[in-house]
Structures are given as structure tokens and as C-alpha cells.
Amino acid sequence: MSDTTQSSPVLAADGRPLKHSLNRALRRQKMRALALILPLLAFVLLTFIVPIGQMLFRSVQNDIVQNTLPQTVIAVQSWDANSGEAPDEAAFAALAADFKTAVENKTHTRVGSRLNYETPGISSLFRKAGRKAKRWDLETDGPFKEQFLDIDEDWGDPAIWRTIQKFSPPVTSGYFLNAADMQLGDDGVEFRPENQQIYITLFKRTLFMSMIIMGSCILLGYPVAWLLANLPSAKANVLLILVLLPFWTSLLVRTSAWKVMLQQQGVINDTLVWLGLVGDDARLVMINNQFGTIVAMTHILLPFMILPMYSVMQTIPPTYLRAAKSLGATNWTAFWRVYFPQSVPGIGAGSILVFILAIGYYITPELVGGTKGVFISNRIAFHISSSLNWGLAAALGTILLAAVLILYWAYDKIVGIDNVKLG
């Protein structure tokens, strides 16, 4: 090489330095790739990520008290919650004024039911007061403290006012505390009374049952994956169809099939009775309890365990096992020390996938779980569609989502999301 080429930059055909041209080409390539991705990314962000974010925000959102009772919120700020008495006339007058506007907009019942989540009984107080407040004249009908106490003695109860004061900020931790069976008591955070604690039990049950489902999927999936990986491919492909058919069959078909199989007059009980193993009057109860949920969900999620295990086991050379045995290992040692460690990535991938899918399940527990076999998802659905306590549903959902995202992150680290294989 001559010296000149080293000192002056290499030029492209159009006379620009080659480095610039290459950079420009690279930039254009990047832009083109991004342009291809952008429509989908925008679509997913707009119709999926943003709605979920909005929904999660509901778990702390509490502007309803401030928006509906603006004057009361200000008036009650100066009241000493530990004084043991209701606030003075100013607060009641502010409340009366707020009620007047709220009743016109018909929003007072909504605040009532919001505060009722925290202190039961408030909802009816608000409804009763709303009926009277419609006819009040703010100028002449005072003093309002007596008016309110006339409607219901409970308006003099400091507990009611403490609740209003505590939930006047636009952001609240109340829903999250509720989701963890706690509440904002008079002296800070405390556990709810024993008979109102349901969510921790429900979370524990969801985790525990997902673990059992995952464990039984490993137990049932491992032998099948091993068999598929070690058979000649023609036979393995035929058997693989038996795994893929349930995978492709509608979830509701499989759930209804399990309903048919497990119920008291169902196929399994009939067979057992016919065989004489179980008396006709002592048919097994296998549905509408935890057992039903576990069996049906193990069946539904088993393909998700077998497929990743199979794809990992396919890459393990069978010669290793033979080599171990010819070096003097027993059957068990050869399997445990040589084969099993190599198949662990498959078990990990399958387990996380099954666990992620299991803890968020809704349909199957709803249909075969009864009351004892339901998951946290069923409670979320209940709060969204029946009890309409959306904030609590959002808080429960946030906790569930956080758990799933941690597992998702772990899955990405261990397996890599690009390596997910279907079928």
C-alpha cells in the first residue's frame, strides 16, 4: 500500500468519503426497518399498553372526593381528627353547599359508594342526606350541623369525617392496602378484621395452585418429551399430533369436556361405579373444587410444557447417555448426572411459561373451580363486572401484573423471547 491512501480518506464513487456514505446507508437501513415496525408498534402501544396503563392508574386514582366535595375537602383540612368530635359548623356548611351541587349533577351517590369501600354505611348516609339537601336554601336553612344530625345521628360520628379527610387527596393507597387485606386505620396502616381478610388467602391459593399445576405438568410432560425426542422422527411426528391436538382445540371445548368427565354423574364416576371401585351412593366429588381446577388446567397447559422440553431434548445427543453407561454409570446415574442437567433449560422454559399462564387463568377456574378453586383473576372480574369497585380490581390487577412481568423478565433472561416456539 502506498502512503497516499492512508493519509487521505477513501472516496466513494460520488466523491464523498466512503465512511460517510456507509453511515448514511446504515442510517437509511435503520429508518426503513423502523418504518416497517412503527405501524404495529403504534397500534400495540395505543390499543394495548396505554389502556392497561390507564387501568393501572385507577388503582391509586381518587379525585372523585375532591371533585365532588371541593369545599368540604378544604374545610375539613383544619379539623383535628383525634379531637373525638365532629367538626364545627363551617365544615357542615361547606358539605351542604357541595351536596347541593352534587345532587344537581347526581354525583353524590357515587362519592358515597366510593367512601363506602372504606367505611361501610357511608353510602346510605349520603343517599339520605342527598334527598334532603335538594330542598335546602343555603342562605337561610342554617345551621347545617343540626340539619345533618337531624337526618341521621351518624353525621356526628368523627369516624365518618375521618374517612372524608383521609380520602380527600387525589391519590390514595387505599385500594392497594385493601388488596393486601389492610386498611388505613386511625393510627396508620393496620390489618383488617380477621373475617374480612380474603385477598392474601386468594393470592396464596393462586400461587400454590399454579405451583401444583406446574409441578404436575413437569411430572407428566417430562416422560412424554423424552419419548418424543428419542423416537425416530416418523413415529415422533405421529405422537406429536396427540400433543398438538389438545393445544389447537378450543379452551372451552376442553373445559366442557372436563365438566363432562368429572361431574358426579360424569364419565369417570360412571366407570368407577361400573367397576365397583366406588359405591353408587358414594360418588367422588371431583368438580367445583380445587381438584377439578388442577386436573383441568394441567390438561390444558400440558402442551405448553411438553413443546419447549421437546425442543431442548431434541438437541441432546443420545450418544452421551450411552457413553456414560459404557464408562460404568448405572442407569440412574447416567440419567441424573448426564441427561437431566442438559434438559434443565427445557424444564425452566416450560415451567415459567406454564406458571405465567396459570396464575392469570380465568375461564377454567370460573367454570370448574366452584368457590374453593377460584383464582385471583376471578375476583378481579367480579369487582369489574359485579361489585363495580374498579379501583380495587385495578390494584389486584397491578399486583398480579407485577408478578407476571417479573416472571416474563426471567423468561426473557433464561430463554429469550425470540426463542419461543409454537408447534
Partner 1 sequence: MALTPVTPSSTSFTASTTAAAGAVAGLFIGTSQGNAFLGVIIGALLLAVIAFVALQMRDREKAIRWIILAGFALAGFLMGGLSAGIMGALFGWFFGWFIFWIGETRYRATLVPYLTPGQVLWHYGFRVICGAIFVFLITPILVVLPLSFNAQDFFTFTPEMLRLDPEGYSLKHYRDFFTSQDWQLSFRNSVIIAPIATVISVTLGTLAAIGLSQSHVPGRRAIMAILISPMIVPLIISATGMFFFYSQMGQVLENNLGLSKTFVGYVKVVLAHAVLGIPFVIITVTATLVGFDRSLTRAAANMGAGPVTTFFRVQMPLILPGVISGGLFAFITSFDEVVVVLFVGSARQKTLPWQMFTGLREQISPTILAVATILVVISIALLTTVELLRRRSERLRGISPT
How many distinct helices (H) and strands (E) make up the chain? 22, 2
Q: How far is the CB of 197 from partner 1 (least distance, A)?
A: 22
Amino acid at 32: R
Give yes or no for residue 388 binding partner 1 (CB under 8 A): no
For residue 61, the SS3 value is strand
Residue 366: how many other CB atoms lie within 10 Å: 18
> Cβ(332)–Cβ(313) under 8 Å?
no
Per CB under 8 A, contacts with partner 1 among 28-47 are: 29-30, 32-37, 39-41, 43-45, 47
Per CB under 8 A, contacts with partner 1 among 171-230 are: 220, 223-224, 227
**Of 13-21, 27-35, 115-123, 135-143, which part binds partner 1 (CB under 8 A)?**
27-35
Q: How far is the CB of 323 from partner 1 (least distance, A)?
A: 14
What are the two backbone dihedrals, phi and then psi, of residue 371, each rounded to the nearest 5 degrees?
-100, -30
Give yes or no for residue 315 binding partner 1 (CB under 8 A): no
Select the residue interacting with partner 1 from 189, 242, 327, 406 (CB under 8 A).
242
Per CB under 8 A, contacts with partner 1 among 57-116 are: 58
Select the residue interacting with partner 1 from 50, 171, 323, 344 (CB under 8 A).
50
Q: How far is the CB of 417 from partner 1 (least distance, A)?
A: 5
**Of 63-71, 125-133, 161-169, 359-367, which part binds partner 1 (CB under 8 A)?**
359-367
What single DSSP character describes residue 17?
A: B
For residue 302, what are the CA distances in angstroms to 207, 223, 334, 369? 18, 12, 27, 18
Encoded one letter per residue, x for contact with partner 1 by CB under 8 A and - for no contact, window 250-279 reads xxxxxxxxxxxx-x-xxx--x---xxxx--
> Cβ(403)–Cβ(211) under 8 Å?
no
Amino acid at 126: F
Q: How far is the CB of 252 from partner 1 (least distance, A)?
A: 4
**Of 74-82, 117-125, 166-174, 353-361, which part binds partner 1 (CB under 8 A)?**
353-361
What does the block give as the cell for 297? 388446567
Q: How far is the CB of 139 from partner 1 (least distance, A)?
A: 39
Question: Whose Cβ is closer to partner 1: residue 110's or residue 254's?
Answer: 254
**Of 83-91, 112-120, 149-157, 362-370, which part binds partner 1 (CB under 8 A)?**
362-370
Type and span of the H or E element at 196: none
Q: How far is the CB of 102 from partner 1 (least distance, A)?
A: 23
173 Cβ contact list (under 8 Å, min separation 6) = 60, 184
Amino acid at 386: S
H-helix segments, 13-157: 18-44, 50-57, 63-68, 70-77, 89-105, 108-116, 122-133, 144-151
Q: How far is the CB of 318 from partner 1 (least distance, A)?
A: 12
| Alpha carbon distance 118, 105 (integer Å) | 23
Residue 347: how many other CB atoms lie within 10 Å: 19
Per CB under 8 A, contacts with partner 1 among 141-170 are: none
Per CB under 8 A, contacts with partner 1 among 114-143 are: none
Question: Whose Cβ is closer to partner 1: residue 119's or residue 389's?
Answer: 389
Question: Whose Cβ is closer to partner 1: residue 36's or residue 323's?
Answer: 36
Q: How far is the CB of 196 from partner 1 (least distance, A)?
A: 23
Q: How far is the CB of 225 from partner 1 (least distance, A)?
A: 10
> Cβ(96)–Cβ(126) under 8 Å?
no
For residue 208, what are the CA distances in angstroms to 178, 204, 349, 363? 21, 6, 19, 18
Question: Whose Cβ is closer to partner 1: residue 56's or residue 200's?
Answer: 56
**Of 61-69, 109-117, 133-141, 415-423, which part binds partner 1 (CB under 8 A)?**
415-423
Question: Whose Cβ is closer to partner 1: residue 58's or residue 100's?
Answer: 58
Give yes or no for residue 239 binding partner 1 (CB under 8 A): yes
What are the two backbone dihedrals, phi and then psi, of residue 11, each rounded to the nearest 5 degrees?
-105, 145
Amino acid at 366: E
Residue 165: how many other CB atoms lie within 10 Å: 20
Select the residue interacting with partner 1 from 121, 142, 246, 370 (CB under 8 A).
246
> Cβ(314)–Cβ(370) under 8 Å?
no
What does the block give as the cell for 273? 361405579
Q: How far is the CB of 184 from partner 1 (least distance, A)?
A: 25
